[in-house]
Structure 1
């Protein structure tokens, strides 16, 4: 329940990869999106033979089927290639990409076979050594064809390095650089993105340095929030800071994609198997209205387990239904909410007001003004003796130097953890200041931070001030 690990836990993401896809036309279930920003334009590919599509077909009379069909199976999601087999990877990729090409749509592939994958966790596996990994990548590259394809390369491979020695990190970085170059050389129209973790893991400056070392200069950019639950606005702000840091290293023109498959509810806890406060987020689209962001993608297919209650990667209809039950149908919801992002990734490091889904809980507490910002608290989860909350900071006239939110603890209350901000407590007074990457907000911009507390959440009176 508690967000004790600031990581994406992509160990939950192993999927079967040997099914040959059938061709599907751009029909009722196909999501559309001609890009108005970013560098990708077109319709993302919906796999008709995904686990959720097969479940819907096999269970027409289940009470959950309509919701799961309309709000999950109707959407394009990434196909994971996670089984290390050098003799079949080319044909697996070719079949999937070929089906997407025949449908006139853009395939999204997640390649997940790096040596020492997931640092030996629940999704451990991958290539036995980096030489064989390169052979596997060569096969994948040969199956990419020549049309636009989106490649999400090796989740957690850059953000998660704790199990590797310095020499192993250097070898991995070289492997990722070579993999990126191999994929781009095989298909110059492929869009390749590297791992940037998420907004409550490594700092933007640290992550930018890691990306640079892993060869992001040869990639199209980076992805964040894969298998995690952080809100889109926090992820876009984090991405903007990474872009700024990369620009400072002379690496320009890089863009972000964000996994929005499960970020429409509470954030912070890595495992979604036991949580009912999770929701699907922004429906997949390349129409982001943000020049820094190439796509909102469903990288982790909704309804596939994280491994803490069910087998990692297995499709569970109760999880899919829980994620989708309170979401609008795609046909009745706008494809994207325009953001106030800057027109180019090199001109601003300010967080955008990129689209985020409506919270599952109603705001609580009293939004209070101090200086040039306001802060609003909502309870996102509660249990006997504790609660999880989220605070949204709205910039008003802007916070050029940062912001701070202050409130007084109620009797019996304490705050044990904060993400997306820096916590300090003096007596009964709590202050949360901005993190390094989300302090500078433009007029009308916003940022969020989350917290874990003991006692009852109550209705805190928040004071927000620029600093």
Structure 2
């Protein structure tokens, strides 16, 4: 099957938008609650942490391996890529056969006690006419296709990602077409849950280096994500640092205001963070392997939605499996834990107030990307304004995060800085201990101080 996903299209090539600090009060730590719940949707809760995802034996990488057993790259590609569960894309308008195709996949996964990852990708005017242009020719036809798709699931436990880029990339659509698309995405959620209450359905969240979280949340709300989906997926269309996706996704969820909505992140190609383009960049690496044991209460799964080695449309036609791309991802080492040094400087202090500059130094030998610096004030300071970054504060505990797309990556031996203004009443003692989460997210390390 041709999986025609590209990384956006002409509308995404200009410099990306800097996110506004819309969610300054978002807490990053796993387990943080996210405000009140919306009405419950017809679907199950989070997948068990020990969920095993389905490896499709008919994937493009498996077909390439079968046809090229003597290729010098085959062993590496087999071990590093084919051995991991990946998304199966449904990209062709085929209302007569789509139900049987979906049923075959769902049944094969169920026979192994595994959970498949399915991606719907047939919305009219998809990719705004870019490298992955296509889809059904009318909304009515698309909804018929989606209904047939849903009927094929039966009662299978499955993850379904609905139409990547459909809500993040709407610049080519008229207002009427945006409304029609939103309704079609909402319809997808309705029929998927109606036909299969065991389906875990996620709508398009774009990625952290694209739209502001407030804008993406508004698009998701217009598509009725709070009533028709289990949550939001991000990073199918790029290579962004996992830590940035975790922070960005939580901003979206916080803005939506529904604690029952969760996040799914595509980690298939973000092990070395973003490149200098969204389209087949060099120097990228495989990210965290697929798992439902994410370590974050609001993150249902890390998945490989975009199959590693399938082109974005620059090295080859979009969706073509390219062994050179696959081998590069498999052999380029992912960036590991950060090494950091923090310099915390009180620039001025007065009764009840202070300004501070914080310098973040990368003391390691690899890039430091998608970073969050955490500390606890020993006094009673409260940040009122932070610049060159985002922050959240709970009591005296602070998480300060990079600006997406600007200072998100610090080269080895280099620094970045941010500053803040704050208030205090009894004490403005400086913190002396800092930790950092960066790169693939998850594990916090202690930073040296000066």
Q: Same fold by TM (over 0.5)?
A: yes
Q: Which residue of 1 aligns with 2:24?
A: none
Structure-1 residue corresponding to 2:272: 265
Whole-angstrom distance in 2 between the partners of 1:446 and 1:87: 52
> Aligned residue for 1:73?
82
Aligned partners of 1:377 and 1:391 also within 8 Å: no
Once residues 379 and 389 of structure 1 are traced to their aligned partners in structure 2, the CA distance between those partners, rounded to angstroms, is: 8
Q: TM-score, normalised by structure 2?
A: 0.73
User: What is the aligned counterpart of 1:325 among 327, 331, 334?
Assistant: 331
CA positional deviation for 1:439: 2.1
Structure with bigger RCO (C-alpha 8 Å, 6+ apart): 2
CA deviation vs aligned residue, 1:120-170 (integer Å, no higher than 9, x gap) = 111111110000001100110110110211000001111111011111111
In structure 1, runs of 5+ residues without a counterpart are 8-37, 329-356, 382-387, 405-431
In the alignment, the residues of structure 1 paired with residue 388 and residue 103 of structure 2 have an alpha-carbon distance, to the nearest angstrom, of 49
| Residue 373 of structure 1: how far off its partner (Å) | 5.2
Is 1:255 the counterpart of 2:210? The answer is no
| Structure 2: runs of 5 or more not aligned | 1-11, 18-44, 346-355, 422-450
Q: Which moved more, 1:81-90 or 1:56-65?
A: 56-65
Q: Secondary structure at the match of 1:294?
A: strand
Normalising by structure 1, what TM-score?
Answer: 0.71
Q: Residue 295 of structure 1: SS of its match in structure 2?
A: strand
Query: Aligned residue for 1:315?
Result: 321
**Which residue of structure 2 lines up, in the alignment, with residue 64 of structure 1?**
73
The counterpart of 1:392, out of the listed 371, 377, 383, is 371
Aligned residues: 362
Task: Find the aligned partners of 2:165 and 2:419 in 1 and give their Cα distance.
Answer: 36
Partner of 1:51: 60
RMSD: 3.0
| Alignment partners' CA distance in 1, 2:164 and 2:403 | 24
Return the alpha-carbon distance in structure 2 between the equivalents of residues 64 and 403 of structure 1.
52
Are 1:440 and 2:392 matched, yes or no?
Answer: yes
Distance 1:155 1:462, change over 3 A: closer
Distance 1:297 1:198 in 2: 15
Q: Give the secondary structure class of the aligned counterpart of 2:388.
A: strand
DSSP-derived class of the 1:310 partner:
coil
Say if 2:336 is the partner of 1:358: yes
Report the equivalent of 2:361: 376
| Alignment check: 8 A CA contact 1:80 1:112 kept | yes
CA distance in 2, matches of 1:266, 1:402: 31
1:143 corresponds to: 152
Query: Contact 2:360–2:415 at 8 Å: present in 1 too?
Result: no
Query: C-alpha distance in 2, partners of 1:142/1:284?
Result: 26
SS of structure 2 residue aligned to 1:181: helix
The residue number in structure 2 matching 1:201 is 210
